[in-house]
């Protein structure tokens, strides 16, 4: 099992985490947000946190809340990410304060952006599918490396946000699809389409554009069975992320094992984490990958 964390992300920093919160720097602003995995005590005291932070998210329910400004801060701002393997390529992201605690970026996913970028650079092209694609970090990484990219998310506003990130990154021609991810995969099976690269980062719970229900434990097997039917068996990179409390890295291993054996793919599994400035390691989900 491999524990992976971004090696180089100068515009992001996890400063501390604990007591079910995390203190993070996104570019020029520092935020305090809830974090259910941070079950230990903070390494810094509350006074130090509040002195540093510009913004704090205050939950009002299990799914929403509001932001409190502790210092002068903007509601929207930009940050950039430069690939460690190629300093000439930079991705740009618009961040925004949302009512569900997110700001538009999952920094631990930079590990996967690097994998995707390097895979398609080596291939000099190919087709890439990003499912549950959110604001498009993986889509931008694949496009920057020369892939033909299809970006699928069920929320129209989030797809528009990803489009803004593409333009900020001076990229173009990503195919945007607003659809339920599982329905889209089934359509691609019927069309006979294949992809060299696929990433999926499904939520624990979610809904499609027409009210389709998604529950990770109930739907992940059907999703993976479909995804493996549209993955090019001869040359591929598949990345499955699962951010769900209680999930083991053995889950993606068991889901992907049969395909790996049949197609002689390299199968790797592990956890993503972020290392805080205080040296605490924050776990942020398990992953599995197939590479050939």
Q: Which domains does the chain have, with CATH numbers?
A: 104-291 (3.40.50.150)
**Least trusted range by pLDDT, from 80-89, 176-185, 216-225, 232-241:** 80-89
Quick one: pLDDT at residue 4? 97
Residues 237 and 263: their CA atoms lie apart, in Å, by 12
Task: With CA atoms as reference, report the closest residue to 178 among 205, 152, 142, 144.
Answer: 152
Quick one: pLDDT at residue 264? 96
Task: With CA atoms as reference, report the closest residue to 290 among 272, 265, 269, 271.
Answer: 265
Residues 253 and 227: their CA atoms lie apart, in Å, by 15
Structural tokens at position 139: 């889509």
Q: Nearest 5°: phi and psi at 196?
A: -80, -30
Output the CA torsion sign for 48, 7, 248, 284: positive
Percent of the chain with pLDDT over 90: 88
pLDDT surpasses 80 at 245: no
Task: With CA atoms as reference, report the closest residue to 16 among 4, 32, 28.
Answer: 32
162-195 per-residue burial string, b: 16 or more CB within 10 A, e: under 16: bbbbbebbebeebebbbbbbbbbbbebeeeeebb
Predicted confidence (pLDDT) per residue in 216-240, tens digit: 888 999 999 999 999 999 999 999 9
Question: If you average pLDDT over residues 151-175, what whole number do you get?
Answer: 97
pLDDT surpasses 90 at 268: yes
């Amino acid at each position: 099992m491999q524990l992976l964390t971004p090696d180089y992300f100068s515009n992001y920093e996890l400063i501390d985490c604990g007591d079910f919160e995390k203190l993070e720097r996104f570019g020029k602003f520092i935020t305090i947000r809830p974090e259910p995995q941070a079950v230990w005590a903070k390494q810094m005291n509350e006074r130090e946190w509040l002195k540093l932070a510009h913004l704090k998210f205050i939950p009002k329910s299990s799914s929403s809340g509001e932001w409190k400004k502790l210092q002068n801060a903007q509601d929207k701002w930009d940050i950039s990410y430069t690939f460690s393997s190629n300093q000439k390529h930079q991705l740009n992201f618009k961040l925004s304060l949302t009512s569900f605690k997110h700001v538009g970026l999952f920094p631990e996913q930079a590990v996967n952006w690097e994998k995707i970028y390097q895979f398609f650079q080596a291939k000099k092209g190919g087709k890439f599918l990003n499912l549950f694609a959110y604001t498009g970090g993986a889509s931008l990484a694949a496009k920057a490396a020369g892939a033909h990219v299809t970006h699928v998310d069920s929320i129209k506003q989030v797809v528009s946000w990803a489009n803004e990130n593409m333009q900020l990154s001076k990229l173009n021609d990503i195919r945007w699809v607003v659809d339920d991810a599982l329905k889209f995969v089934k359509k691609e099976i019927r069309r006979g389409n294949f992809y060299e690269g696929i990433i999926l980062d499904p939520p624990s719970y979610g809904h499609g554009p027409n009210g389709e229900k998604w529950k990770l434990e109930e739907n992940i097997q059907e999703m993976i069975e479909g995804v493996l039917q549209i993955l090019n068996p001869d040359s591929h990179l598949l990345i499955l992320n699962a951010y769900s409390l209680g999930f083991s890295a053995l889950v993606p291993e068991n889901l992907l094992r049969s395909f790996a054996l049949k197609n002689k793919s390299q199968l790797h599994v592990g956890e993503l984490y972020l290392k805080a400035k205080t040296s605490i390691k924050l776990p942020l989900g398990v992953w599995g990958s197939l590479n050939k």
